Amino acid sequence: MPVSLIYGFIRGVQTLPHFMIPKIVGALVGRYVMEKRFGTKNWRQYAPVLLAGFACGMGLIGMSSVAIALISKSVTQLRY
């Protein structure tokens, strides 16, 4: 069995049902639109890198948002 089938099954079982529709739409766009545009071999090489970059970017944005929130809370004064 392909590794992506196993990971897809595990991710599909653990997610909520309303998150499945965007995942299915994204999978169909990747399969039928992006593979035609970039070629099957190139798209299969680009897709994991694209996913890793998106995940790293989301982590950086999340951590910088937490840092800004902590700094703004520590700088403000409370009125008693």
pLDDT per residue of the chain (80 residues) written in tens, 0 to 9? 677 777 777 877 888 888 888 888 988 999 999 999 999 999 989 988 998 999 999 999 999 999 999 999 888 777 76
Residue 59: the pLDDT is 96
pLDDT of residue 65: 97
Q: What pLDDT does 58 receive?
A: 95
List the structure tokens of 9. Answer: 């099954």
50: containing domain: 44-80
Output the six-digit token pair for 52: 């890793």
Structural domain count, the chain:
2
| pTM of the complete model | 0.63
CA distance 9 to 69: 37
> 18 and 34 share a domain?
yes
pLDDT at 70: 93
Task: Tell me the C-alpha distance between 43 and 35, whole Å.
Answer: 6
| 25 in the same domain as 11 | yes
Residues 25, 49 within the same domain: no
Angle at 4 between CA 31 and CA 25, to 5 degrees: 35
19 and 52 share one domain: no
